[in-house]
Amino acid sequence: MKSRFLFPYPWRKWGVALFIIGLTLSAVHIVFDEYFSGLHHGQMLAGKADLRELVTDIILLTLICGLLLIAFTKEKVEDEHIAQLRLDSLQWSIYFNYIGLIICIVCITNWHMFVGIAAHFIFTPLLFFIIRFRWVVYQSNRLLHSEE
């Protein structure tokens, strides 16, 4: 299986940087958003809603781009074995995502709560793929080095 649609290996560093920046901005946004909401007792000032949406969009785009770069950059040695591990991990991440979504559909009856929780399923395929792929590559390398 030829991996034609993977980013070059050095781009992973950019992905990690974008993801860390996105997480940091997200935490800062949550803290300050709650502070300003409490300060104004939930009243929107002119333009505040637009700024909040713009900041949220920038944070989401930063996180998604970072995760995409982390997940889909080539390894130093990209061979058939790595391609198979990548494919298996992608399949498991889709299973995990939809099992979680099904559990939410069955267990959550409040529509607003469901939408809030289901929005997090935007990130779960990429996150679970990265975690599982890195784990199986680590296990494979460990097994390879123990045989030597």
Using one digit for the tens of pLDDT, what is the confidence trace for 34-44? 666 655 544 55
DSSP string, the chain: ---TTPBPTTHHHHHHHHHHHHHHHHHHHHHHHHHHHHHTTTPPPTTHHHHHHHHHHHHHHHHHHHHHHHHTBPPSS--HHHHHHHHHHHHHHHHHHHHHHHHHHHH---HHHHHHHHGGGGTHHHHHHHHHHHHHHHHHHHHHHHH-
Average pLDDT over the chain reads: 86
Question: Do 11 and 55 touch, CB atoms closer than 8 A?
Answer: no
Which tokens go with 122? Answer: 């935007």
- pTM tops 0.85: no
Residue 120 has pLDDT above 90, yes or no: no
The CA distance from 75 to 91, in Å, is 19
Question: Do 62 and 21 touch, CB atoms closer than 8 A?
Answer: yes
Using one digit for the tens of pLDDT, what is the confidence trace for 39-92? 554 455 555 567 778 888 999 999 999 999 999 999 998 889 999 999 999 999
Which of 58, 81, 61, 59 has the alpha carbon at shortest distance from 69? 61
Q: Which residues contact 64 (CB under 8 A, 6 or more apart)?
A: 122, 123, 126
Q: So where are the chain's domains?
A: 1-74, 77-148
Q: Is 47 left (phi over 0), alpha (psi -120 to 50) or beta?
A: left
